[in-house]
Amino acid sequence: GENVEQHPSTLSVQEGDSAVIKCTYSDSASNYFPWYKQELGKRPQLIIDIRSNVGEKKDQRIAVTLNKTAKHFSLHITETQPEDSAVYFCAAGGGGGNKLTFGTGTQLKVEL
Amino acid sequence: GAVVSQHPSWVICKSGTSVKIECRSLDFQATTMFWYRQFPKQSLMLMATSNEGSKATYEQGVEKDKFLINHASLTLSTLTVTSAHPEDSSFYICSAAAGQGSEKLFFGSGTQLSVL
């Protein structure tokens, strides 16, 4: 089955700096890679996703890049703000239905 | 985006009792829903895939007789934790694909289960 690794587990940045979270996956059949943001005690929220036929996607301050050959994808948050503080999960799926395998999560803390 | 409703948001029960958690897709039909378990500061661990009108598919290591899943309609899936024990205490969360064939998953608000 699919195995997704995520790094770092914790990330602290100063407000206004950029944050980068990286994930690798194992199943070459996976073709859908979403990122979720989960605030404490709340549900995960889809913030951006990318499919394997695209190398990069951007939505305002958030961007995701995908290297299908190397089987890794990254989340980039620019001009970070305190409200970006949360746990971020990457996921991979689509190889067999819409089942997703999640990474272990990254606790992002944006400091003033 | 699509709305997934999950109830209850928290429940406390005595050891040995059963607890039912509901997951509803409010504005779309979901032929497939997923149930996860999440421990504090850990990832979402898929427990089972719930398929409307058929038996659920359980992940390895998940006891199907303990975690009963029913997906009787296109908008409702239920997870029943039977004979709950303290080690079953956890955050349970469901998700549903926003439409048949869609890869985008939307999550319920989760249920914090505490077994005394």
Instruction: Provide, rounded to the nearest whole percent, the portion of chain B with pLDDT above 70.
Output: 97
* CB neighbour burial string for A80-94, b if at least 16 within 10 angstroms, e if fewer: beeebbbbbbbbbbb
Which of B101, B106, B109 has the CB atom closest to A46's CB atom? B106
pLDDT at B33 over 70: yes
Contacts A–B by Cβ distance under 8 A: 53
Averaged pLDDT, A41-69: 93
Query: Which of helix, strand or coil describes residue A82?
Result: helix
| Interface list for chain B against chain A, based on CB atoms closer than 8 Å | 1, 32, 34, 41-44, 46, 49, 93, 97, 101-110
What confidence score (pLDDT) does residue A8 get? 97
pLDDT at A84 over 70: yes
**Chain B, nearest residue to A102 by Cα:** B44
Instruction: Label residue A99 by pLDDT band (50, 70, 90).
Output: confident
- pLDDT, tens digit, for every residue of B76-106? 999 999 999 999 999 999 999 876 667 788 8
Instruction: Label residue B51 by pLDDT band (50, 70, 90).
Output: confident
Closest alpha carbon to A90 in A36, A12, A18, A9? A36
Query: Which of helix, strand or coil describes residue A53?
Result: coil
Instruction: Label residue A7 by pLDDT band (50, 70, 90).
Output: very high
- The amino acid occupying position A51 is R
- Is the CB of residue A27 less than 8 Å away from at least one CB of chain B? no
Higher pLDDT, B40 or A5: A5
Q: DSSP strand E in chain A: where?
A: 4-7, 10-14, 19-25, 32-38, 45-51, 56-59, 62-67, 72-77, 86-93, 100-102, 106-111
Nearest chain B CA: its distance from A77 CA (Å): 21
Which of B1, B41, B105 has the CB atom closest to A98's CB atom? B105
pLDDT at A102 over 70: yes
Count Cα atoms within 13 angstroms, Cβ side, for B13. Answer: 24
Assigned token pair, B35 = 């149930």
CA-to-CA distance for B77 and A10, rounded, in angstroms? 34
pLDDT at A9 over 90: yes
CA-to-CA distance for B114 and B50, rounded, in angstroms? 23
Contact A94 B34 (CB under 8 A): no
Assigned token pair, A34 = 């979403």
Which of A45, A98, A101 has the CB atom closest to B32's CB atom? A98
What confidence score (pLDDT) does residue A33 get? 95
What confidence score (pLDDT) does residue A96 get? 53
Answer for the pair A93, A73: CB distance below 8 angstroms, yes or no: no
What confidence score (pLDDT) does residue B105 get? 87
- pLDDT, tens digit, for every residue of B9-22? 999 999 999 999 99
